[in-house]
Chain A
Amino acid sequence: MRTTTKQKIAFSVLFLSTLMVILPVVFVLGTIIKNGWQGISWEFLTSMPRDGMRQGGIYPAIVGTVYLVSLSIVFSLPIGVMAAIYLNEYARDNLLTRLIRLAIVNLAGVSSVVYGLFGLALFVTFMKFGVSILSGALTLAIMNLPVIITASRESLANVPYQFREVSLSLGLSRWQTIRHSVLPFAIPGILTGAILSLARAAGETAPILFTVAAFYLPKLPASIFDQAMALPYHLYIISTQIPNIAVKTRYATAMVLVGISFTMNIFAVIIRSRLRKKKKW
Chain B
Amino acid sequence: MSKIITNNLSLWYGGFQALKKINLAFQEKRITSIIGPSGCGKSTLLRVFNRMNDLIDGVRIEGEVLIDSADILDGDFSDLVKLRKKVGMVFQRPNPFPLSVYENIIFGLKVHHLVEKSEREQIVRESLESVMLWNDLKDKLHRNALGLSLEQKQRLCIARAIAVEPDILLMDEPCSALDPQATLKIEGLMQRLKNDYTIVIVTHNMQQAARASDDAGFMLLGELIEFDRTVEMFTAPKDKRTEDYITGRYG
Q: Which residues of A contact B (CB under 8 A)?
A: 92-93, 160, 162-163, 165-173, 176, 180-181, 185, 279-281
Q: Which one of B4-12, B28-36, B61-69, B84-92 is at the A interface?
A: B84-92
Residue of A nearest to B157 (CB): A166
**B84 A171 Cβ-Cβ under 8 A:** yes
**A163 B85 Cβ-Cβ under 8 A:** no
Contact of B146 among A165, A167, A180, A281 (CB under 8 A): A281
**A171 B81 Cβ-Cβ under 8 A:** yes
Q: Inside 8 A of B81's CB, which chain A residues have their CB?
A: 171-173
Residue of A nearest to B88 (CB): A169
**A170 B108 Cβ-Cβ under 8 A:** yes
Residue of B nearest to A92 (CB): B57
For the complex formed, measure the closest distance between the CB of A75 and the CB atoms of chain B, giving whole angstroms: 30
For the complex formed, measure the closest distance between the CB of A196 and the CB atoms of chain B, giving whole angstroms: 24
- Contact of A170 with B107 at beta-carbon distance under 8 Å, contacts A181-B97, A185-B98, A280-B98 already known: yes
- Contact of A170 with B164 at beta-carbon distance under 8 Å, contacts A165-B91, A281-B146 already known: yes
Complex formed: what's the CA distance from A185 to B146 in Å? 14
Q: Inside 8 A of A160's CB, which chain B residues have their CB?
A: 95
Interface of B is mostly: helix
**B84 A169 Cβ-Cβ under 8 A:** yes
Complex formed: what's the CA distance from A243 to B57 in Å? 66
Q: Inside 8 A of B93's CB, which chain A residues have their CB?
A: 162
B106-123 vs A: 1/0 string, CB under 8 Å? 011011100000000000
Complex formed: what's the CA distance from A169 to B111 in Å? 13
Complex formed: what's the CA distance from A173 to B111 in Å? 10
Complex formed: what's the CA distance from A165 to B170 in Å? 13
For the complex formed, measure the closest distance between the CB of B17 and the CB atoms of chain A, giving whole angstroms: 23
Q: Inside 8 A of A172's CB, which chain B residues have their CB?
A: 81, 108, 111-112
- Report if B236 contacts A (CB, 8 A): no
Residue of A nearest to B107 (CB): A170
**B111 A281 Cβ-Cβ under 8 A:** no
Complex formed: what's the CA distance from A169 to B80 in Å? 10
Which 7 pairs between the two chains have the least Cβ-Cβ distance? A171-B85, A170-B108, A169-B89, A171-B84, A281-B98, A162-B95, A171-B81
- Report if B160 contacts A (CB, 8 A): yes
For the complex formed, measure the closest distance between the CB of A180 and the CB atoms of chain B, giving whole angstroms: 5
Among A162, A170, A185, A281, max chain B CB count under 10 A is at A170
For the complex formed, measure the closest distance between the CB of B68 and the CB atoms of chain A, giving whole angstroms: 16
Other than the known A163-B95, A169-B91, A171-B84, what 6 A-B pairs have Cβ atoms closer than 8 Å?
A92-B57, A169-B89, A170-B88, A170-B161, A171-B81, A171-B108
**A166 B95 Cβ-Cβ under 8 A:** yes
Q: Inside 8 A of B110's CB, which chain A residues have their CB?
A: 180
- Contact of A171 with B161 at beta-carbon distance under 8 Å, contacts A162-B91, A166-B95 already known: no
**B111 A180 Cβ-Cβ under 8 A:** yes
For the complex formed, measure the closest distance between the CB of A92 and the CB atoms of chain B, giving whole angstroms: 6
Complex formed: what's the CA distance from A162 to B177 in Å? 15
- Contact of A171 with B82 at beta-carbon distance under 8 Å, contacts A165-B91, A176-B111 already known: yes
- Report if B55 contacts A (CB, 8 A): yes
Complex formed: what's the CA distance from A280 to B161 in Å? 22
B183-194 vs A: 1/0 string, CB under 8 Å? 000000000000
Q: Inside 8 A of A165's CB, which chain B residues have their CB?
A: 52, 55, 91, 95
B209-241 vs A: 1/0 string, CB under 8 Å? 000000000000000000000000000000000
In chain B between 128 and 179, which residues have their CB closer than 8 angstroms to a CB of chain A? 146, 157, 160-161, 164
**B52 A168 Cβ-Cβ under 8 A:** yes
20 interchain pairs, CB-CB under 8 A: A160-B95, A162-B91, A165-B55, A166-B91, A166-B160, A167-B107, A169-B50, A169-B89, A169-B91, A169-B161, A170-B88, A170-B108, A171-B108, A171-B112, A172-B108, A173-B81, A176-B111, A180-B107, A181-B97, A185-B98
For the complex formed, measure the closest distance between the CB of B161 and the CB atoms of chain A, giving whole angstroms: 7
Complex formed: what's the CA distance from A133 to B32 in Å? 67
